[in-house]
């Protein structure tokens, strides 16, 4: 019997104008958790789809337990005990947990009707096997992201899968939820499953995997034992060059105050939050999940209304306002004129831009072209007498997309066709197309590979150098310490501590502030 439960040799997949996989090799051992890493666009997603039968390779061979197989469609993959859990879940939100687990392989009675009683019972048993008490009758739409991941895993093992592919499963999870997923993944391995774990997070690799394979530019680069390769070497293999400075932060002299929040509160979300932002400053806002950071930014950007507090934009008019009563529900003062931010368009006109955490749901229209996405919020710039100047729109979009180094064939490519890191760059281009003074970036590198991260950090640093005030919400301690001039830590909706100078601040100090008041 072969040492490898799954082996791919010389896999090549070509789409019109693009070689998505170029002579790729991969070997998965019996009972192994094998990490697969690479930049966005390296070919990992296409690789998964070849294994699961969504795409068929033009060249190459696939072996299961040493025997050559053909996987022409997902049904073939399922018969070969292969299952995939995708980064962007394929769950049916309006159906129950049981229906999602057994969809496509429902249990039937002897009368050829669906055996709901048995399916609910089996669903409950599968979830309990994974250590979960999720109600099988619950609607998927009512579950958290972490719970939906568990249901997806239950769905995989319901088909008796022995080869399970997990695509960025920790991208949207908290630290506690990641630990639970680690436990379940190790349990599956101990039960005899072999797992391909795709992730951008080094901590996932070190926590779970014994070996790591790297793809770059659609090609196989190599496979190493995890305990024999350093971060520096791994990064250089992933990006094709050494990143001696992952955080390319420019030294910028902090300018005058440009923006101030005073006593902002919203019942149940955050309370009495105050801070200031200066020109050329990167203020990192961090804290544990549920600390209220995103909810605070939603109010600043006009997505929700605070109950009380002030937003003051432009430092010249900030003098003498501390004594004003805090009951004006989020007003912005710009050059002496009081503006009421009731809608994101009000915030953008005032000079505040926001890059949301959930790029797919809140930042992009996936079926639209890249150019249309970039200019959507600023169409008036390209419109005269209700007619849009499409040429000017395309030229500006192309300029901005090139500035943020987006990998795409043209401005007409759909946003859905891009990797996660390139989707994030499109949103950055969209933000840069506005006339802004303050740029809010909510988890800007979430789910983004190390090379794209460095490019996003470079853009942030350039914005600060040009005099913008930058607010970065982040749960990643290394990027907070690597990019911030000022660090604001939130806990349970309140400001726990502000480090006015981030120089020399440690992760331990930040965690202490996030956990203790």
Q: Supply φ then ψ for residue 150, to 5 degrees.
A: -65, -40
Q: Return d(Cα 278, Cα 469) in angstroms, integer.
A: 6
Does residue 323 register a pLDDT over 80? no
Instruction: For residues 394-406, give the mean pLDDT.
Output: 81
8 Å CB contact between 422 and 407 = yes
Neighbours of 70 (CB within 10 A): 10
313, 438 contact by CB (below 8 A): yes
Instruction: Count other C-beta atoms under 10 Å from residue 445's C-beta.
Output: 23
Would you say residue 426 has pLDDT above 70?
yes
Residue 303 has pLDDT above 90, yes or no: no
pLDDT for position 145: 82
pLDDT greater than 80 at residue 458 = yes
The per-residue pLDDT for 332 is 44
Contact criterion met (CB below 8 Å) for 487 and 284: yes
pLDDT at residue 516 above 80?
no
Q: DSSP assignment, residue 370? A: H
What confidence score (pLDDT) does residue 275 get?
92
Q: Which of 6-15, 55-64, 354-363 has the lowest mean pLDDT?
A: 354-363
Tokens of 52: 């699961």
Show Cβ contacts of residue 4 under 8 Å, excluding neighbours closer than 6 positions.
Answer: 27, 28, 29, 30, 63, 65, 66
pLDDT at 311 over 70: yes
Question: 363: number of CA atoms within 13 Å, CB side?
Answer: 27
pLDDT > 90: percent of the chain: 35
As given in the structure block, the two tokens for residue 267 are 């019942």
Separation of alpha carbons 169 and 172, rounded Å: 7
Quick check: 317 pLDDT over 60? no
The DSSP call for residue 437 is S
Q: What is the mean pLDDT of the chain?
A: 84
Share of the chain above pLDDT 70, in %: 90
Look at residue 333 and tell me whether its pLDDT is greater than 50: no
Distance CA(378)–CA(388), nearest Å, equals: 11
Contacts of 441 (CB under 8 A, 6+ apart): 355, 460, 470, 471, 472, 473
Q: How much is the pLDDT for 88?
A: 64
- Structure token digits, residue 325: 């009563």
Rounded distance, CA 234 to CA 229, Å?
Answer: 7
Distance from C-alpha of 254 to C-alpha of 502, rounded to nearest angstrom: 13
Q: Which residues make beta-bridge pairs with 412?
A: none
Query: 170 and 199 in contact (C-beta within 8 Å)?
Result: yes
Residue 327 is predicted with a pLDDT of 38
Average of pLDDT values for 297-326? 61
Q: Is the pLDDT assigned to residue 360 strictly greater than 80?
A: no
Q: Rounded to an integer, what distance in angstroms lies between the CA atom of residue 345 and that of residue 303?
A: 10
Cα 258 to Cα 332: distance, rounded to the nearest angstrom: 12
Reported as a single tens digit per residue, the pLDDT across 217-228 is: 889 999 999 999
Output the six-digit token pair for 29. 């051992």
Helix axes 390-403, 420-432, angle to 10 degrees: 120
Rounded distance, CA 485 to CA 507, Å?
Answer: 15
* Separation between Cα atoms, residue 158 and residue 169, nearest integer Å: 19
pLDDT digits (tens, 9 = 90+) for 101-146: 998 888 898 888 999 999 999 999 999 999 999 999 999 989 888 8
Q: What is the pLDDT of residues 224-259, one digit of tens each?
A: 999 999 888 888 888 776 555 677 788 888 888 888
List the one residue out of 70, 65, 95, 73 whose CA is nearest residue 155: 95
- In residues, how long is the chain? 517
For the ranges 23-32, 58-67, 353-362, 502-511, the lowest mean pLDDT is seen at 353-362
CA-to-CA separations, 366 to 371, 373, 379, 426, 501, in angstroms, rounded: 12, 9, 18, 11, 39
DSSP-assigned states of every residue in 378-432: GGGGGEETTEE-HHHHHHHHHHHHHHTT---S-TTSBGGGS-HHHHHHHHHHHHH
Burial letters for 368-378: b for 16+ Cβ neighbours within 10 Å, e otherwise?
ebbbbbbbebb
Closest CA to 26 of 38, 15, 16, 18: 38
Q: What is residue 83's predicted lDDT score, i.e. its pLDDT? A: 93
Neighbouring CB atoms inside 10 A of 429's CB total 25
């Amino acid at each position: 019997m072969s040492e490898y439960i799954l082996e791919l040799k010389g896999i090549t997949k070509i789409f019109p104008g693009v070689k998505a996989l170029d002579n790729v090799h991969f070997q998965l051992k019996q009972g192994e958790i094998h990490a697969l890493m690479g930049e966005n666009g390296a070919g990992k997603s296409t690789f998964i789809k070849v294994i699961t039968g969504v795409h068929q390779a033009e060249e190459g061979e696939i072996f299961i337990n040493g025997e050559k197989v053909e996987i022409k469609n997902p049904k073939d993959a399922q018969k070969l005990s292969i299952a995939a859990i995708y980064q962007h879940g394929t769950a049916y939100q309006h159906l129950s947990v049981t229906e999602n687990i057994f969809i496509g392989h429902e249990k039937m009675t002897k009368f050829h009707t669906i055996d709901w009683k048995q399916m609910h019972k089996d669903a409950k048993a599968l979830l309990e096997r994974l250590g979960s008490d999720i109600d099988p009758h619950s609607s998927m739409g009512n579950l958290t992201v972490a719970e939906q991941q568990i249901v997806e895993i239950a769905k995989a093992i319901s088909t008796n899968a022995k080869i399970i592919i997990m695509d960025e499963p920790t991208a949207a999870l908290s630290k506690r939820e990641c630990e639970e997923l680690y436990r379940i993944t190790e349990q599956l391995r101990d039960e005899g499953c072999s797992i391909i774990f795709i992730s951008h997070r080094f901590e996932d690799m070190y926590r779970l995997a014994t070996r790591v394979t790297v793809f770059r530019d659609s090609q196989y680069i190599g496979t190493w034992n995890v305990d024999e390769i350093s971060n520096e070497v791994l990064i250089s293999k992933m990006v094709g060059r050494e990143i001696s400075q992952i955080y390319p932060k420019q030294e910028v002299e902090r300018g005058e105050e440009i923006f101030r929040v005073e006593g902002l509160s919203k019942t149940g979300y955050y309370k009495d939050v105050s801070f200031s932002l200066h020109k050329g400053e990167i203020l990192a806002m961090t804290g544990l999940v549920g600390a209220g950071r995103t909810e605070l930014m939603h109010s600043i950007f006009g997505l929700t209304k605070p109950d009380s507090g002030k937003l003051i934009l432009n430092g010249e008019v900030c003098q003498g306002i501390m004594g004003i009563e805090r009951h004006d529900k989020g007003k912005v003062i710009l050059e002496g004129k009081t503006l009421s931010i009731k809608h994101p368009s009000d915030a953008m006109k005032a000079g505040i831009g926001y890059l949301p955490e959930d790029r797919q749901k809140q930042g992009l229209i996936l079926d639209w072209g890249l150019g249309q996405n970039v200019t959507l919020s600023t169409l008036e710039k390209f419109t005269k007498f209700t007619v849009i100047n499409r040429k000017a729109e395309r030229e500006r979009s192309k300029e901005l997309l090139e500035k943020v180094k987006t990998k795409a064939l043209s401005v007409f490519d759909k946003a859905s066709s891009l990797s996660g890191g390139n989707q994030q760059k499109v949103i950055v281009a969209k933000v840069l197309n506005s006339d802004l003074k303050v740029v809010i970036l909510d988890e800007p590198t979430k789910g983004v590979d190390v090379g794209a991260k460095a490019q996003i950090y470079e853009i942030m640093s350039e914005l600060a150098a040009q005099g913008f005030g930058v607010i970065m919400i982040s749960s990643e301690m290394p990027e907070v310490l690597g990019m911030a001039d000022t660090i604001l830590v939130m806990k349970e909706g309140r400001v726990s501590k502000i480090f006015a100078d981030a120089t020399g601040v440690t992760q331990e100090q930040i965690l202490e502030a996030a956990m203790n008041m």
